[in-house]
Amino acid sequence: MNEPTPINPTNEQPPVFQHWSGWYALVLGTLVTIIILLYWFSRLFI
């Protein structure tokens, strides 16, 4: 087999959120929040 296998999104239902995009948004939102908090924290005590 040389052709790539198509990448299909899974139909498995994730826990808590209705779609996996909910979990992905949580991860990315947490990253942005952490960057903002770290920046704020590093400026706070100068």
Partner 1 sequence: MRTFDWVVLCSAIALVVGYSIRKSRGSKTVQEYMLSGRDARWYTVALSVMATQASAITFISTPGLAYIDGMRFVQFYFGLPLAMVILCITALPLYRRLNVFTAYEFLEKRFDLKTRSLAAFLFLTQRSLAAGLTIYAPAIVLSLILGWNVSIVILAIGALVVLYTTVGGTKAVSWAHSYQMGIIFVGMVSAFVVILISIPVSFGDALRVAGISGKLNAIDFSFDPNNRYTLWTGLIGGLFLQLSYFGTDQSQVQRYLTGQSLTQSRLGLIFNGLFKIPMQSAILFLGAMMFVFYQFTTPPLFFNASETAALAGTSYEAPYKQLETSYQNASQTRAAHLRTMLDASRAGNEAALQTSQTALNASKQELTTLRSKAVALLKEHNPKANTNDTNYIFLNFVIQYLPVGLVGLVIAAILSASMSSSSSEINALASTFVIDIYKRLLKPEASETHYILVTRIATVMWGVAIVLFAQFADRLGSLIEAVNILGSLFYGTILGIFLTAFFIKSVRGATVFYAALVAEVAVILCFWLTSISFLWYNLLGCVLVAGIAYLLQLIFGREFTPLDETP
CB of 17 within 8 A of CB of 23?
Answer: yes
Binding mask 7-46 for partner 1 (x = CB under 8 A): xxxx-xxxx----x--xx-xxx-xx--xx--xx-xx-xxx
Structure tokens at 5: 């296998």
- Reduced to 3 states (helix: H, G, I; strand: E, B; else coil), residue 7 is coil
DSSP character for 28? H
Report, in Å, the least distance between residue 15 CB and partner 1.
7
Q: Which residues make up the interface to partner 1 (CB under 8 A)?
A: 1-5, 7-10, 12-15, 20, 23-24, 26-28, 30-31, 34-35, 38-39, 41-42, 44-46
